[in-house]
Amino acid sequence: MEANSFDPELIRAVFRLVWRKQATGREKSQLPDNEPEAGASTSKKSRLTFANANALKLSCELLRLFVTEGIQRAGTIAEAEGSSKIEATHLERVLPQLLLDF
Amino acid sequence: MESNVEHGEEGEESVIELFRDRFRLCTISIAEAEAKQNGMEISPLIVACVSDLAFKYARQMAKDVELFARHAGRKSVNMEDVILCAHRNDNLTAMLRSFSNDVKAKEPLSDKQKKRKKIPQSDDKAAADLIHS
């Protein structure tokens, strides 16, 4: 059985939230002030990015790897110190390299 | 206009919080499974930290894949864009690429493959006609 992973629908929703915000930011910086709202919303829809199903699956996998890698690396530190519980100090030590790798 | 924007922002904040909570639920199960595999216990604080980090990473990923897709002249994000996100680490790129190959392999037969299967049948039919005639 494969390990648990993120819900693709959740990832899709998060992505869409970010893309909608990005699109709004682009609209504000490009359009003149007197552009009617109806026009702005239709152009937003036509420019809005979307992801295909496989890309979502892959994104879930990437996020799952992020979590797994973080826990594993922190666990290695904890083990090296002889502790059986992974604590904040262990995570702190692996965080810089984790963020550089992802 | 301004009040709409404010309401919009407040609404967005609550939606973000909802997503953050759902992220935590997913992370809890992944993290606990991972820790169990290594025979270790994990503190709930770590799970919350890793979850919030993953959430931030997901939001950054959204921006990155959108930029990659647009750079390639596309409006839709595909697997290559996601693989590009992992370019900082070669091992990670390799893992993602092999996962993407698995996903492609598990896909139901595409139209092209269906057509390929049909052609031998029509050849058989043509051969059968020749024999009968």
Residue-wise pLDDT tens digits, A25-54: 888 888 665 555 554 555 555 578 989 999
What's residue A29's pLDDT? 86
Chain B hits for A85, Cβ within 8 Å = 40-43
By Cβ distance, the residue of A6, A18, A54 closest to B59 is A18
For A71, residues 6+ apart whose C-beta sits below 8 A from its C-beta are A86, B30, B31, B34, B35, B42, B46, B50
- Smallest Cα distance from B100 to chain A, Å: 7
What's residue B118's pLDDT? 55
CA A19, chain centre distance (Å):
12
Q: Hey, of B26, B28, B51, B75, which one would you mutate to test binding to chain A, going by the most A CBs within 10 A of its CB? A: B26
b/e map of B100-112 (b: 16 or more CB within 10 Å)?
beebeeeeeeeee
pTM, two decimals, is: 0.80
More confident residue, B129 or B33: B33
What's residue A1's pLDDT? 39
Which tens digits make up the pLDDT trace of B88-103?
999 999 999 999 999 9
Number of Cβ pairs closer than 8 Å across A and B? 168
Which tens digits make up the pLDDT trace of B2-41?
555 556 667 888 999 999 999 999 999 999 998 888 889 9
Which tens digits make up the pLDDT trace of B44-60?
999 999 999 999 999 99
What's residue A85's pLDDT? 92
- Smallest Cα distance from B3 to chain A, Å: 15
pLDDT of residue A75 exceeding 80:
yes
pLDDT confidence band for B133 (50 / 70 / 90): low
Chain A 45-84, CB below 8 Å of chain B: which residues? 47-52, 54-55, 57-59, 61-68, 70-72, 74-75, 78-79, 84
CA B106/CA A34 separation, integer angstroms: 51
